[in-house]
Amino acid sequence: MIETTNTETPQAKPSIMTKGLSWGWTAIKYLAVFLVIYTAINWWRQPVMPANPDLQLTDYQGQTVDIAAMSHDSPVLVYFWGSWCAVCKITSPTVQSLAQSSPYPVVTIAIQSGDNQELRQYLKAKSFNFTTINDEEGDIFKAWQGQVTPSFVILKDGEMTQGLTGVQPEWSLRLRLWLSSVF
């Protein structure tokens, strides 16, 4: 009887630690790609400040809102939204919370959300009491070359320091306002 011996050395099975590190690096790579793509799309879709923007507007209640003057004291968050916008239904409560608890002024611009009475009823039904400009025809948003709602702009000293779009957590908006106040 001839005996054969296995000359192949058994391969060591990867350890749980090795598998975990491999998975971790893969996750980091995908996250990095996602962040690059997200940042590029956000940059492309963000509003663009007009050459001579009208920053002295009238809110839906007839009160004058001078955003330029407000922005000289501290950065101002300008939030473009619509009552018809599904994503805005997620972001508007965040903006409401920020407007109530932040030292930074918040001005919202409701795009094509009806006349002043309809807008008043909508805001009351949702318990939103942030300062709101009614952009009935969408002219203000068009002047800012707005592409999507929700969109955000941060103004400091009458100039745009940041623009962003989409769902934004409150901590991110607070951080961006703080950064605009520091730099």
**Tens-level pLDDT at each residue, the chain (183 residues):** 556 555 555 566 678 888 888 898 999 999 999 889 877 888 888 999 999 999 999 999 999 999 999 999 999 999 999 999 999 999 999 999 999 999 999 999 999 999 999 999 999 999 999 999 999 999 999 999 999 999 999 999 999 999 999 999 999 999 999 999 999
Which pLDDT score is estimated for 15?
83
Which pLDDT score is estimated for 11?
64
DSSP, collapsed to helix, strand or coil, labels residue 109 as: strand
Which pLDDT score is estimated for 20?
83
Separation between Cα atoms, residue 13 and residue 166, nearest integer Å:
45
| Domains contained in the chain, CATH given | 56-182 (3.40.30.10)
Give whole-number Cα distances, 77 to 65, 99, 102, 133, in Å: 13, 9, 11, 13
